[in-house]
């Protein structure tokens, strides 16, 4: 499954879809919490796989450019203070 997640993450990263990657990470985190809460079953293998997938998603998120850095590129020569509302 990790190979499938790698392909999905690669696609989202190529599209620059930060929200989809964050949603994917949150879903995997909820799965990990649910599996860790289970009693009577050995879920350690599944938990490890989910944690590996979370690491792949986080690497995809890290590959995306920072949103704050991108804001300045839309306005060449503008400082970040120029983007603040008047009176600030």
Q: How confident is the model at residue 67 (pLDDT cuts 50, 70, 90)?
A: low
Q: State mean pLDDT over 35-53.
A: 95
Q: Does residue 4 register a pLDDT over 80?
A: yes
Is 80 contained in some domain?
Answer: no
Do the domain assignments include residue 81? no
Interatomic CA distance for residues 47 and 2, integer angstroms: 12
Looking at residue 61, what is its pLDDT?
95
Residue 71 lies in a domain: no
Q: What is the pLDDT of residue 66?
A: 78
> Taking the model in full, what pTM does it have?
0.72
Residue span of the structural domain in which 54 resides: 2-64
Domain count, the chain: 1
CB-side neighbour CA atoms (13 Å) of 36: 11
Is residue 43 in a domain? yes
Identify whether 56 is part of a domain.
yes
Nearest in space to 57 (alpha carbons), one of 26, 32, 30: 26
């Amino acid at each position: 499954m990790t190979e499938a997640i790698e392909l999905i993450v690669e696609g989202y990263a190529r599209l620059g879809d930060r929200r989809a990657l964050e949603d994917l990470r949150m879903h995997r985190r909820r799965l990990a919490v649910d599996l860790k809460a289970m009693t009577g079953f050995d879920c350690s293998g599944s938990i490890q796989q989910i944690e590996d997938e979370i690491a792949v998603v986080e690497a995809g998120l890290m590959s995306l450019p920072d949103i704050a850095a991108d804001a300045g590129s839309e306005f060449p020569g503008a400082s970040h203070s120029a983007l603040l509302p008047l009176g600030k």
